[in-house]
Amino acid sequence: MMTNHAKLMQFFSVAKSVTGRKKLQKMIYILQKCNVPFEEKYQFHFYGPYSEELTLRVEELCNLGFIQEEKEEKKSFHQYHYQLTEDGKTFLHQFSTDMPDLTDRVDLLNQQSSRFLELVSTMLYFENLPKQAVEEKIHTVKPKQNYSGEEIAEAWEFIQTLRGIPSA
């Protein structure tokens, strides 16, 4: 029952806490691109890969009481924090998911800024292109983010590290 919901709960169970909707979107996308079997469909939007399906599923998990969403007022915007509830833990206990161990990858992703994860996810979105073309695309689709050469190099290295982490 609700396999895709359970997979997300498994993610939250490992992550403990995720801060920011954009960060959450990018983390799940990047894990998908590392062959973690999340099935949420992504499309390219103004701010990079985005999944309406993921947004809705997280809303459902919150409404069901499996995930807790906390809203924090910032100066000019709101920020959201997510974590698994006790009910969510009970559900996960009843309905096990066929997921690889995500601990190391989720920890590594959770330490990064959402700006950096936006860069990484955008690079992964265009990964079927040659490396040079990916870097050109970054500047074309995200001119306002003004990513530096160092950030892009760091992102390539990050992708390699992340993909090198074994599943089990």
Partner 1 sequence: MMEYKLKQLDEEKVFKDPVHRYIHVKDQVIWDLIATPEFQRLRRIKQLGTSYLTFHGAEHSRFNHSLGVYEIVRRIIFNFQNRKHWNPDERLLCLCAALLHDLGHGPFSHSFEKVFKLDHEYFTREIILGDTAINRILEHVEKGFSQKVADVIAKTYPDKLVVSLISSQIDADRMDYLQRDAYFTGVSYGHFDMERILRVMRPTEDQVVIKSTGMHAVEDYIMSRYQMYWQVYFHPVTRSAEVILSKILHRAKYLYESGYTFELKPIHFLSFFKEDVQLEEYLKLDEGIVSYYFQLWQDEKDPILSDLCERFMNRRLFKYIEFNPNLEMNEWMDLYQLFQEAGIDPDYYLVVDSSSDLPYDFYRPGEEEERLPIHLLMPSGELKELSRNSDIVEAISGKKRTDHKLYFPKDRLDKLTDQHLKRKIEAILYKRGEK
- 141 binding partner 1? (CB under 8 A): yes
Euclidean distance between CA atoms 152 and 56, whole angstroms: 31
- 167 binding partner 1? (CB under 8 A): no
At its nearest, how many Å lie between partner 1 and the CB of residue 103? 26
- 7 binding partner 1? (CB under 8 A): no
Q: Which stretch binds partner 1 (CB under 8 A): 51-59, 104-112, 146-154, 157-165?
A: 51-59
- 81 binding partner 1? (CB under 8 A): no
The answer to whether residues 19 and 79 touch, using CB atoms and an 8 Å cutoff, is yes
Euclidean distance between CA atoms 162 and 87, whole angstroms: 31
- Token code pair at residue 156: 């390539």
Among 25, 32, 112, 121, binds partner 1 (CB under 8 A): 25
- Token code pair at residue 160: 């390699």
CA distances from 86 to 63, 73, 90, 93 (A): 14, 25, 6, 11
Binding positions for partner 1, rule: CB under 8 A: 1-2, 4-5, 20-22, 25, 39, 41, 43-47, 50, 52-53, 55-57, 59-60, 63-66, 77-80, 87, 90-91, 94, 114, 126, 137, 140-141
